[in-house]
Amino acid sequence: MFIIGLDNGIYVKSNKRTISREQLPNGIIYPFNKDYEGDVEIAYWRKCWGLRNDIMNTFGWRTKSPDEWKFEISTPAQVIDLIELIAKWLDKERWENDGDSIWEYEEVREMLIQQIINLALIHGYMSSNPDVYLVFYDSY
């Protein structure tokens, strides 16, 4: 069981350099107009607890503690796993039954599709830039 956070997202980092939007592939649509302290956010959701818990349950075990609220997704293979996980939430019945969100399916569908596109573009970028990784964060 995890504590429920309100805001969750994924940003791009490097262990060798500061990442900027200009370095990332064209076609990414960013959830916000600005980045914070060199973190380029490519996915964001608020009050989508079913999706959030699915990500935490799938990827959180790879961290030091399953209760941590921030962890790395460090390989292109893990990005594919994340894309597949998010794609499962495009099923309207699943969202309506298990989404545990204040948002209706029609309100989040396009956002989920854009997150998949952003992650697919980052997957290709990570494949040729091994210093790049993703960080999932939870607001708590």
Q: How far apart are CA 86 and CA 55, in angstroms?
A: 9
Average pLDDT, the chain: 88
pLDDT level of residue 114 (50, 70, 90 thresholds): very high
CA distance 86 to 116: 7
Token pair, residue 79, equals: 């990005």
Please say whether the dihedral angle defined by the alpha carbons of residues 97, 98, 100 and 105, taken in this order, is positive or negative. Answer: negative
**Per-residue pLDDT tens for 29-88?**
999 888 877 789 999 999 999 999 898 888 765 555 555 577 889 999 999 999 999 999
Could you tell me which residue, 16 or 5, shows the higher pLDDT?
16
Please give the residue that has the higher pLDDT: either 135 or 1: 135
Residue-level length of the chain? 140
Alpha carbon distance 31, 11 (integer Å) = 11
Determine the pLDDT at residue 14: 94
Strands across the sheet containing 132-138: 40-46, 7-14, 132-138, 70-73
Is 90 exceeded by the pLDDT of residue 7?
no
Tokens linked to 125: 């970028």
- Confidence (pLDDT) at 139: 76
pLDDT of residue 91: 97
What pLDDT score does 1 carry?
Answer: 40
